[in-house]
Amino acid sequence: MISQQTIDAIFQAAHVEDIIEEFVHLTKRGVNLKGLCPFHDEKTPSFTVSPARNIYKCFGCGKGGNAVTFLMEHEGLSYPETLRYLANKYNIPIEETALPEEYEFEKQERDSLYLINAFARDFYGKQLFETDLGKSIGLSYFKERGLLRKTLDSFELGFASTNRDELTKTAIQAGYNIDLLRKLGLTNDHDRDFFFNRVMFPIHNLSGKVVAFAGRHLINDKKSPKYINSKESDIYHKSKVLYGLHLAKQAIRKEDYCLLVEGYTDVLSLHQSGIENVVASSGTALTVEQIKLIKRYTRQIKILYDGAAAGTKAALRGIDLVLEQDMNVELVLLPASEDPDSYIKKVGVTSFRDYLDQEAKDFILFKTNLILKEAGNDPVKKSCFN
């Protein structure tokens, strides 16, 4: 158990406005700060933070509390996990008192799930950097894509070996519970590893904890999909996660827009080039929950499409949802046969930013043009726009 002394130090250090600002865009109103409530839907801010009293209160839905209760409720962390998160943030060493034995077994399951994912992340990282296979297959793939060690470390990338039960065995040896490994989808029903022979992309929540993994295989095998993802669990709901957001959130607020791309590697290469306000919806069509995540930091979204996707209706899926959330949406189409990675390498970051500014098209105009084009000379369809 965490000692009372440590808990007191944490409560003293934790400023409610520091904590909440990581998740909610706050603006100054007199002595208080105000923002859109993350706990209920609203268009005008009634979520109020008082630095002087070190508390928050929403006058819309009534939620209120301090830094600790905010993190527990908002991030779904347990009390001890929240204390650890804050201790880490404020560099407070954690002093543990001896634990009554039964506590060991009563640790909350969610905490255990996060711990196992962290273990798996470290395991896959070691496979990538310290094994021959990891280096010759995984690391050379990332290097070919021009990714630097710094980027691999920031995104905590890894490699799952060809051995089909290595993670499961190692985790069990280290004392982790097989049922929880199965719950996370890391181990299948036959007690073998779900991910093998793939480069691994951990998927993080807003506070940077690993909630799931995506694995990309590097062989040309039409029978197995290029990317596979962890199944949903108590800590992973794919419609509520955006890839890269934990590293992008500060930049999104600073630039006051969020750049949405299609692939994990697009996020990596743009981030590495210095465009950090970038996220991907990781294979799913954009969801309302994902848009709400972005909305905490900005009301502007630029959606970047490969030249190949230009003008297709599929590319526009999900955008009506964004508009319903009262967000400004612009589309940017890359020149034909370019993707974000190839294009930024070709023109460099300054021209890339210029391109984003100059080529961004208002979504409503874009869509109207598309429908008009489809309607052709059909007077009935066309009349909808007169």
Distance in Å, CB of 32 to Zn ion, minimum:
15
CB 207 within 8 A of CB 227: no
Q: What gap in Å lies between CA 50 and CA 237, rounded to an integer?
A: 32
- Name the β-bridge partners of 223: none
Query: Closer CB to Zn ion, residue 22 or residue 330?
Result: 22
What is the C-alpha end-to-end distance of the chain, expressed in Å?
69
Distance in Å, CB of 239 to Zn ion, minimum:
21
Query: Closer CB to Zn ion, residue 34 or residue 204?
Result: 34
Query: Closer CB to Zn ion, residue 37 or residue 303?
Result: 37
DSSP string, 52-93: TTTEEEETTT--EE-HHHHHHHHH---HHHHHHHHHHHTTPP
Query: Closer CB to Zn ion, residue 48 or residue 197?
Result: 48
CB 78 within 8 A of CB 108: yes
Query: Closer CB to Zn ion, residue 48 or residue 82?
Result: 48
Element (H, E) at 307: none
Distance in Å, CB of 292 to Zn ion, minimum:
13
- Name the β-bridge partners of 56: 49, 65
Which amino acid, 101? Answer: E
Radius of gyration of the chain (CA): 23
Q: Is 283 helix (H, G, I), strand (E, B) or coil?
A: coil
Distance in Å, CB of 24 to Zn ion, minimum:
11
Query: Closer CB to Zn ion, residue 60 or residue 146?
Result: 60
Distance in Å, CB of 46 to Zn ion, minimum:
6
Distance in Å, CB of 13 to Zn ion, minimum:
26
In the complex, the residues that contact Zn ion under the rule CB under 5 A are 37, 39-40, 58, 60-61
Q: What gap in Å lies between CA 213 and CA 118, rounded to an integer?
A: 11
Q: What's the maximum distance between 2 C-alpha atoms anywhere in the chain?
A: 80
- Alpha carbon 371 to its chain centroid, in Å, reads 33
Distance in Å, CB of 60 to Zn ion, minimum:
4
Query: Closer CB to Zn ion, residue 37 or residue 293?
Result: 37
Element (H, E) at 139: none
